[in-house]
Amino acid sequence: IWGIGGIGKTTIADAVFNKISRHFEGSYFAQNVREAEETGGIKDLQKELLSDVLNDRILRDVRSQLNRLARKMVLLVFDDVNNPRQIESLIGHLDHLASGSRVIITTRDKQVLKNCWAGQIYQMKELVYTDAQKLFSQYAFRGGHLDSSYTELTDKAIKYAQGVPLALKVLGCYLCGRSKEEWESAMRKLEIIPHVEIQEVLKISYDSLDDSQKNIFLDIACFLEGEHRDKVISFFDASGLEAKIELSVLEGKSLINLDVFDQIRMHDLLRDMGREIVRNESVDYPGKRSRLWHHNDIYEVLKKNTVSNNKFSI
């Protein structure tokens, strides 16, 4: 299961797990695998997985436990994986599992699924408007029922979230119980500064990029979203970058996509995240930032000649 952060990968994996786990001899849902590796907890997660699936709380030799695991038809879910080695650290090679076993992997990076030879890749899509409204109302209004006097403001919030469940939940909780004036103020602020909780989740994919990929992502977020793929490739190739492979990496991590006209597209929340990264290079002095895209900032910087970044783009 593949998609951007906050799109609902874990939720749908959990629903499938709860529905079919009873048909297997053992099952386990390994949550936050990436975080477990980063915090040094992968061995603890392995012990918990093996003892739970094998129904054996006595600590034994890991190799013998893995051999026992290979003889059982199991259902395993590995949540938030960003490198196949994480799964190997937990259970060894996937092809050692018994016939009839099933493995579900959730990831932000399509390449992870390819490297694991996934039999089927399901890309998560944004919620349609009706479902987005239901989810938002569940968190924004008492009883989950839309207040008709807030219809226009609700539409603005749903449009901002662009069908991402995490954003709908966060905004719903943030706006719950507030006055119309506070809603309007909050929405105006979001046009300038993204919500920090949403940005933190989305930024995980950005942080996994190398410097070249980060620069390309930021250029697209600030300037090139909506341009034809060939034009974008020519632009970056002229800058000495290997655009084709870098764009492929960004697409695999769900940071960009191509529309039917081969134009580079980016989710609005990801675009806003990229622009906020650049804004934070120098919050008070736009001339110190690497990129400017807003006409007011460009006008002020050029008018006052306050550019102090040698790699400055507009």
User: Which candidate, 76, 80, 72, 70, places its Cα nearest to that of 37?
Assistant: 80
Asked if residue 306 is part of any domain, the answer here is no
d(CA 270, CA 244): 20
Q: Which of 192, 214, 232 is the last residue of a domain?
A: 192
Q: Which of 56, 80, 115 is the last residue of a domain?
A: 115
Query: What is the domain extent for residue 238?
Result: 201-280
Asked if residue 313 is part of any domain, the answer here is no
Q: What is the pLDDT of residue 296?
A: 86
Same domain for 150 and 217?
no
* DSSP 8-class letter at 186: H
pLDDT band at 59 (very low <50, low <70, confident <90, very high): low
Asked if residue 297 is part of any domain, the answer here is no
Same domain for 13 and 103?
yes
Q: Where are the beta strands (DSSP E) in 178-217?
A: none
* Residues 111-127, mean pLDDT to the nearest whole number: 96
Beta bridge partners of 105: 78
Same domain for 184 and 214?
no
Strands 26-30 and 74-78 come out as parallel
pLDDT band at 58 (very low <50, low <70, confident <90, very high): confident
Same domain for 16 and 87?
yes
Contacts of 96 (CB under 8 A, 6+ apart): 66, 70
Asked if residue 123 is part of any domain, the answer here is no
Residue 310 has pLDDT above 70, yes or no: no
SS3 assignment, position 257: strand
Residue 92 has pLDDT above 90, yes or no: yes
- Number of domains forming the structure of the chain: 3
pLDDT band at 301 (very low <50, low <70, confident <90, very high): confident
Residue 60 has pLDDT above 80, yes or no: no
